Amino acid sequence: MFNKKSIIELKKDLNNECFSRKTCSFYKYIKIENRKALRNILYKHLSELKVFGRIYLAKEGINAQISIPEHNIDEFEKFISNFDFFEDVKFKYAIKDGHSFIKLKILLKDEIVAYKLSDKEFDMNRVGKHLKPIDFHHSIQESNSVVVDIRNYYESEVGKFRNAIVPDAHFSQELLPKVDNMLQKHKDKKIHLYCTGGIRCEKASSYLIKKGYKSVYQLDGGIIQYAHDIKESKIESLFIGKNFVFDDRLGERVTEDIISRCHQCDQSSDNHKNCHNDSCHILFIQCDKCAKKFENCCSYDCKSFKNLEFEKRKILIKDVNKKVTSAKLSTKFRPKLYKLFNYWK
């Protein structure tokens, strides 16, 4: 049921594969009674298909981001669709592929999106109207329309729809109250929501409807499907930059626009990375010049700590006061690096 290989072994196995993979995501809000049994069935069969990735199972449904060998895609889709409650699931494939996952994890969760809402704050029988990407593209250009990013700040930092309302949220739990507050003066307008693949907009739209918003719409298939459809239709994209993704790729380029800046030198860059100091791993944006200067680390301290002998580093990591990590400098989840170190003086 569980992987027993080290990260080094898993990466080596992945690099030695002689076939191509496709990154896929899917979700569905559906009542799941026996999650443990379903987890065991999924894990066994998906492992046999050499599927990697991360799947969340909750009483309210399923949320999956996975990497599938191309030659197993048909069998994978058939396997998932054979479950009565997943038969109408929509599979969304990456805009640009790459090594996204190195192992399979299936986790039991309280929610498939961690909004931490009470049952009184939403009703999944009443959600915003789904608009196909091309319809969404045209609708957000109407004069009485507002477009809202239902993602965290570090996602919209590298890519967003033009003129979108972007909440400064560090994690999902604080996102919806911020969105509601920012939309108060737009309550009589057509509210258009978008996120990566659509899952966050489902409950977000229901939340806003409960709050009294009358005209709420959501991008069907999210940014992923929008990018595919816009390219196929040869229409200029209103989403600019990169689509942030929660896997090892950290982003898919949608347009050549670079709308963000290196967190260390303030120059144009949209390359997200996790600090290469294994005890830190803070997420930040770094240009190629600073990557060389800091050796892919977020600070000189992390660079120095990373270069210590392994045994010495191993001892220090066990001591909270001696372990070097920028993450402990802030109470925020995924803090803004340029503010932590005042890099942008």
Is there a contact between 59 and 35 (Cβ–Cβ < 8 Å)? yes
Q: Is 195 a catalytic residue?
A: yes
Catalytic one of 195, 275, 290, 302: 195
Is there a contact between 333 and 260 (Cβ–Cβ < 8 Å)? no
Give Dmax (Cα) for the chain.
62
Task: Please give the C-alpha separations between residue 86 and each of 28, 77, 157, 203, in angstroms, as whole numbers.
Answer: 7, 10, 33, 18
Q: CB within 8 A of 62, min separation 6: which ones?
A: 26, 27, 28, 30, 32, 55, 56, 86, 112
Tell me, rounded to whole angstroms, the distance of Cα 272 from its chain centroid.
13
Instruction: Quote the CA–CA distance of 290 and 136 in Å, as a whole number.
Output: 38
What φ, ψ does residue 46 adopt, rounded to 5°?
-70, -35
Residues with a known catalytic role:
195
